[in-house]
Structure 1
Amino acid sequence: MARYQIILAYDGTDFYGSQRQAKARTVQGELENSLRRIGWTGRSVLLAGRTDTGVHANGQVAVVDFDDWKHSPAELLGALNSQLPRDMAARQVTLGTDTFHPRFDAMTRRYVYRLFFHPVRDPLRERFAWRIWPTLKVEDLREAANSLLGTHDFAAFGTPPRPESTTVRTITRAEWHDHDEELRFTVESEAFLYRMVRRITFLQVAVAQGRLSVQALADLLANRSSGEGIPTGLAPAHGLCLVSVTYPNRE
């Protein structure tokens, strides 16, 4: 048996999330169907992380075990891409160790959220970015982002994978940058709660819009707030992309 690590990219628009579901189109389901068409007989692939309906990826990591693949990783890459749907692609295939697990071995996960400012809808750009109007000041967003850095209890920002799991997370990077007439928020942590990135993005935008103070955001992080008066909602899924997952001794 050989274990292969696959780096995936996908346009999440027409997927009902990443995890396999019996009656919905998902990333895992399409990947497994494509692998079966080239001879894979396994039961399930492993993914580094869960992405919501509509969320994109350029660096999702999948692992698949092949009992009888007698070709190179490069040939597996070509064969898999010949079967994947048009809104998915395998970017790289490498051999992994027998014990490698894409989720539990991950050191960091990095997401990028894209937004742009325009008074009129832009259907092409809005597939991958959140349109906001009026314009926000990047300085306000950066001030809000700075309050997120470090270790906090993010119970007010998302839900854990299991009810008994901790909601404490450490954010090691939270930065806003100008990029080709867009603002991009890059956030990095060992792990995130369910919908946490979309929630913190939404609240940073609320700060920049004057609907929430940086102090109120800090109080929420420190569990000094009841949540009363805090804007509810999530940033739209289509602006979010999982861009990379890192592992020990790997770039």
Structure 2
Amino acid sequence: MNNEYKDIKVIGFDADDTLWVNETYFRDAELEFANLLARYETANKIDQELFKMEMKNLPIYGYGVKGFVLSMVEMALELSNYEVSNSTINAILNIGKDMLNKPVELLEGVEKTLKTLSVDYKLILVTKGDLLDQERKLEKSGLTDYFHHIEVLSDKQEANYSKLLNHLDIKPSEFLMIGNSLKSDILPLVNIKAKAIHIPFHTTWLHEQVNDDETKSKTYKTVHSLLDVIQVLN
């Protein structure tokens, strides 16, 4: 066993873009939305304004597809000076429904990694977003049985993680978090003295991006895939 992780007893996994594809569907939806509103503004401007609307609404709606759809509807109304057609609003709603009905596409090595690590560690799922949608994706994934505990958080900040670990009677020094987002899955854990392994996904939501100053002097490991985690821990 790697001496750096000798005290680890529990491993937490992020879900979206760590175990299965998620953010790609949001990028596709943004393109569809821009096409629907092309008569009112450029695609780049629409993208910028939609992001601002999402940030404005985040404290109200939280994370997930439903809040995203509501932000698209509100943005469509504003950009069109409230002249957008009912058919366009309906098309926006259908974008959201299509996202919610997407198949769950597991990333490479997910099942092998979970099966291998579950022999020596207690595994938990720690995700954020809409509860119903996350439960749906987990059920479709077929991965439920690998996890001792499943937690859907409203946000992923230090206080959220500390509360969860305390609730589950897990010491930070015995916990390892694995995820694709430096902002949500890695830095908060490092800051509460837990371990973290970063697995970048090919696309990252602007809200989840961090700058070099935020990662400076922070200790965590970056690998290319879930399968690499097995080698890191051995």
Same fold (TM over 0.5): no
* Higher RCO by CA contacts (8 Å cutoff, separation 6 or greater): 2
Shorter-chain TM range is 0.3 to 0.5
Higher helix share: 2
From the two aligned structures, give the one with the greater strand fraction.
1
Normalised to the residue count of structure 2, the TM-score between the two structures is: 0.32
